[in-house]
Structure 1
Amino acid sequence: MRISSHQFHLNSIKNIQHNTAEFNKASVQLSTNDRISKPSDDPLGAVMLLKLESEIESLSQYQSNMDAVNYALGQQEVQLTGIVNQSYSLQELITTAADGSMGTEQLKALGQEMRVIFQGMLDLMNAQDGEGRYLFSGSETNNKPFIQDAAGDYIYNGDERIREVAVSPDSNVLTNIIGSDLDPNADFLNAMKDYLDLIDNPPAAGVGNESRTMINNLSDYLGHITGEITVIGGTMASMDSLATSNQDINTFTTNLRDDISAVDYPEAYIRMNESMAAYESSMQVYANVTQLSLFSYIK
């Protein structure tokens, strides 16, 4: 079969270009340690890499979510723990006031101490974060959770929305405690307000019965507060477990991605040398043949 000069030139150039491309491909792979620089290098591997990268990004986002939740719940836990500590001080004063031997002036003095502690507890229930958002107002973070209405009674001024974020493909966790769970119907706040008004002008018989009732109200209130602290603790513990699981998945996924994308250095080096040898051979043949003419065969 005859091969025309034109066809020979085309085939030679095609071989030279192919070998050059293979050399460049292997060279780039060796320098970047990236076996797949474009989908055509390995279509199936490229699709798998996209899926793995998406999973790694999702895991990173889950970790960011957990970090944010841990910070938010940590702030709330600090406030609630402060309420518990102040509640114990208040309980001690109320117990002292229940003693029938307390005189009017002594009760008033106790009342002044209680009022300071009560205000401190109220401030903690109305705590704000560093950006001025109220911690216990649900989604109404611009609203102070507990305020007094026109009649002077305390009411909850937030909403009932518990915010959640995803921390795994199948798990969401809460990010906030709502004020209505801390003091349902503001019962404790209003009972304490009335008790303080009473102790400012105590009856001659003292405030023994009222103090014992107030201790029970305080105990119920403490139950709500400590219950929410337990919720926070459980949520944070579950995230610790999820974080460990997510990290294991991330490590496996990252290693799998690297295995798929990483270059086999010995194999790539051999391919590069073979491409260079084929390139040089093609160039030598092309150069020799193009120098031939009809006169080369005339003796």
Structure 2
Amino acid sequence: MRVSSSQFYTDNLRYIQQNNTELAKLTVQMATKNRIQRPSDDPLGAVMLLTLNAELKTLEQYGANMNAVNYSLGQQETQLNGIVNTLLSLQGLVTTAADGSAGDTELRALGQEMSVLFPAILDFLNAKDGNDRYYFSGSLSDTPPFVRDLAGIYSYQGDALVRQVKVSDTSSVASNIIGEALDPAAGFLNQMQQYLDLINSTPAGGVGDESRQMIDNINSFLANVTGEITRIGGIRASLDELAIANSEIGLFTEELKEEVKTINDAEVFIRLNQVTASYESSLKVYSTVSRLSLFSML
């Protein structure tokens, strides 16, 4: 088969251009250390990189979720610890009032001291976060969880929604404590308020029986609060474990990503030398042949 001069030149030019393109690609790979500059370089590898990047992004979001939940639960735990400390102080005062030897003056003094401590418990229960949202109102974070009406009766105004936050592909954790779980139907608040009204009126018969009943009420409320503190501790411990697991997954994913996208220096260097030699050889052949003509044969 005879090959025309124009076809010969066209084929040689195409071969030179192919080598030039390959040379440019290899040069960029050597400079960036990235094997895949565009999807066509390795379609399967490009898809894998997209998948790995998406997984790393998801792990990053999980990390942000865990940090937010951990911080919020830590703040809620601080409020609950404040309640515990105040309850212990109230418990001591009520225990003193339960002693039948306390006189009117002492009972009034005890009642006044309790009246100072009691509002602190309500403040802790109605605590807000940095965005001015109530911790213990469930999903109704703009509503104070515990309020007192005009008749002097406390009630819970929040709902029972526990917000679940996804922290891994297979698990979510609670990010809030419900006020109803701390003081169902505001029972303790109303019991304590009634007790304070009684002791501040200094009844002639004393408050021995009522104080002993109040000690039981305090213990019941204290058990609710400490139970939620324990639950928070469990959630935060599980978050620490998940953070470690997600970190290990992230490290493995990063390593796999680097393996997929990073060049093998030795292989690319050898290929670069081969393409360079072929490119230079093609140029010399084309340059020599392009100067030939029929007059060169005469």
Same fold (TM over 0.5): yes
Tell me the distance in 1 between the aligned counterparts of 2:249 and 2:131.
35
Partner of 1:151: 151
Partner of 2:68: 68
Partner of 2:98: 98
Partner of 1:175: 175
Tell me the distance in 1 between the aligned counterparts of 2:256 and 2:219.
55
Partner of 2:165: 165
Q: CA deviation at 1:252?
A: 0.9
In 2, are the aligned partners of 1:23 and 1:271 still within 8 Å (CA)?
Answer: no
Tell me the distance in 1 between the aligned counterparts of 2:156 and 2:143.
10
Partner of 1:30: 30
Q: CA deviation at 1:146?
A: 0.6
Tell me the distance in 1 between the aligned counterparts of 2:87 and 2:200.
20
What pairs up with 1:191-270 in 2 under 5 angstroms? 191-270=191-270
Q: CA deviation at 1:5?
A: 1.1
Partner of 1:138: 138
Q: CA deviation at 1:202?
A: 2.0
**Runs of 5+ unmatched residues, structure 1:** none
Tell me the distance in 2 between the aligned counterparts of 1:252 and 1:177.
35
Tell me the distance in 2 between the aligned counterparts of 1:196 and 1:150.
17
Q: TM-score, normalised by structure 1?
A: 0.98
Identity percentage over the alignment? 54
Task: Give aligned pairs, total.
Answer: 298
Q: CA deviation at 1:150?
A: 3.0
The reply to whether residue 279 of structure 1 matches residue 279 of structure 2 is yes
4+ residue runs over 6 A deviation: none
Q: TM-score, normalised by structure 2?
A: 0.98
Tell me the distance in 2 between the aligned counterparts of 1:132 and 1:75.
13
Partner of 1:43: 43
Q: What CA deviation, in whole Å up to 9, does each residue of 1:7-45 have, x standing for no partner?
A: 111111111111111111111111111101111111211
What pairs up with 1:2-21 in 2 under 5 angstroms? 2-21=2-21
When structure 1 is superposed on structure 2, of 40-49 and 111-120 the one drifting more is 40-49
Secondary structure, counterpart of 2:165 in structure 1: strand
Tell me the distance in 2 between the aligned counterparts of 1:76 and 1:209.
34
The reply to whether residue 78 of structure 1 matches residue 78 of structure 2 is yes
Q: CA deviation at 1:206?
A: 0.4
Tell me the distance in 1 between the aligned counterparts of 2:88 and 2:95.
10
The letter for the 2-side match of 1:54 is A
